[in-house]
Chain A
């Protein structure tokens, strides 16, 4: 199957540049703001959008994304509402790939078949579920594949050559390379190591490789865009949004611009990079 994700990466490869993958948390700080952000992101330079499904216990996320999830939950965001948000976005934008990202428990409780049906109907293209390694593929990865949704897997510096084939076996859309061992929003990666890691992944898969964790500005993004097929930015955007909120944690007139301005800056970095993935 060819999804919007495949088409978008193929299109950008023809243009000779990396994709900018942007993450925002569904419902942070409220659903209206998220919808406005979703609508504004593609024009600001986002090529792929990851929409977070908030969870109380995001074990692999740093303080920025954890706080975003708690803000979303404080305004009563649920998985059902995030799916509705996706459907709203899709009404106006039929081209930008939309990926849901989160943890397994809310999906498990919602019911896997119901989740896949509703996500597909909402125009979602793929899912990233942080706490489902290939050892638990039968839970969601294989059913997602059957439903026509890409299950995007994370590969990390600890994923050695022996394990890579297992990790990549049922991955679709792209491979999300986590450039550091650590939580989201942590240290900036060592770019020479990133290039070597992307090259290593490319020996095992024909899928595009997007690199995330630690991208904070145009310069970081350009360095990664040089060697990878995609640059993922999340914590920096979520942090920009947080800084725009008022004292009560509510969105302000400047909230959407706070995020899109940063996306524009990072997109310029991505576009400035001569694209030469290994």
Chain B
């Protein structure tokens, strides 16, 4: 299915929350009044200079923005092609891009008078960001996390506990991110009165995909300015990893209408696309889950299948609906990288640049390593280093034999 190319790729979603056939609002009736209320509050906040002033102040002085755009000189030399820049989201407070979105949503929750915040987390980065913002504003915080992820991402569990959040290990299903999201939705259905659901990626029922994207667009907006300052022109290509896809849509969106720019999203191919993986676009079909229509990993009967990735942040069987639409319009090229390729990229980045990336952006780096050498030296390439690898050192050590 190939959708018609619009005049602008930046106008979505429509008023019903649709990006083409994707997106929408597929939730239980209990949640609908709340979601409509959230949409009203978000629309009002968007127009309120005070909201932006407070958010920008926090982003500058609390998160540490703007994050640098760093010329990866040694990696560029090593690969011998495109000039590679890193957008350093891993330098943000809490170690990833997640905090950009969380602060926006928490300010919104405060405007709505909500006192209890719930979140789901896979790798723990979104959980840590939410726990951090809740501590900062004195809000109760409950984080749902698959029991498997609680085990493999212990450093982040400790962090959340230290920040005063309650981490609830989810025992249902495959006990990973998908199940954590189900459990968070159940909590929300039960506690609609005082609870705000802080979703960690650009997915879920409208307005979440658009709202999370808007909060993450600061990544791409800064990149534009920084690249113009550094090189006097816009980049030629952009790379980002995709689980739900919030770091990617944040980087991509401000560039979508610059059609000469090549844009690449990289999904997790796990053990390989013919084996267990988490590449919803490469290996899935359109379906409806967690409040939106999007590409999903599922069987012939529409039952959701588990994703697999070495990266707990990418093993979600779905993807943000805007990415599904960008795939079908052909504006963004979606690739994938296996666990092994990500591990190799992780090591190369650490050794060449002295930067230990999270396993998530290591997937994007894996494709950069392949594509950069095919480009001329004047080609300006930006890869979003969406998080740092501290949380992954045990996983990596296990795979590489203890190091």
Contact = CB atoms under 8 A, between A and B. Distances in A.
Interface string A46-84: 000000000111111011001000000100001110000
Nearest to A133: B32
Nearest to A103: B288
B28 A136 contact: no
A191 interface: no
A134 B26 CA distance: 10
B186 interface: yes
Nearest to A67: B172
Interface in A142-180: 153-160, 163, 167, 178
A163 B293 CA distance: 24
A158 B301 contact: no
B288 A154 contact: no
Interface in A199-213: none
Contact of A167 (B29, B186, B301): B29
A183 B189 contact: yes
Contact of B189 (A60, A79, A80, A106): A60
Interface in B180-226: 182, 185-186, 189-193
Which secondary structure dominates where chain A touches chain B? loop
B72 to A, nearest CB: 40
B71 to A, nearest CB: 44
A60 B290 CA distance: 11
A37 B1 CA distance: 43
B363 interface: no
B291 to A, nearest CB: 8
Interface in B278-309: 285, 287-291, 293, 296, 298, 300-304
Contacts of A59: 27-28, 182, 185-186, 189, 290
A177 to B, nearest CB: 10
Contacts of A35: none
A182 B189 contact: yes
Contacts of B32: 133-135, 158-159, 163
Contact of A78 (B27, B285, B301): B301
Given A105-B302, A133-B25, A186 B16 contact: no
A133 to B, nearest CB: 5
Contacts of B302: 55, 79, 105-110
Contacts of A131: 26-28, 288, 291
Nearest to B300: A109
B178 A136 contact: no
What's the interface size class on B, roughly?
A: 35 or more
Contacts of B387: none
B29 A105 contact: no
B396 interface: no
B29 A156 contact: yes
Contact of A154 (B28, B34, B186): B28
Interface in B145-195: 172-173, 178, 182, 185-186, 189-193
A199 to B, nearest CB: 19
A130 B190 contact: no
Given A105-B304, A109-B298, A57 B192 contact: no
A56 B29 contact: no
Contacts of B290: 57, 59
A278 interface: no
A182 B32 CA distance: 13
A132 interface: yes
Nearest to B302: A109
B25 A163 contact: no
Contact of B287 (A60, A62, A108, A155): A108
Contacts of B291: 131
A79 B350 CA distance: 49
B287 A109 contact: yes
A105 B189 contact: no
A181 B30 contact: yes
Contacts of A157: 30
Interface of A: 55-60, 62-63, 66, 73, 78-80, 103-110, 130-136, 153-160, 163, 167, 178, 181-183, 186
15 contacts: A59-B189, A63-B172, A73-B303, A103-B288, A106-B302, A106-B303, A109-B301, A109-B302, A131-B288, A133-B27, A153-B29, A154-B30, A158-B33, A160-B33, A181-B189
Given A60-B185, A158-B29, A167-B29, 6 more contacts: A57-B178, A60-B28, A109-B298, A109-B302, A131-B26, A135-B25
Nearest 5 interchain pairs by C-beta: A109-B302, A106-B302, A182-B190, A60-B28, A156-B30
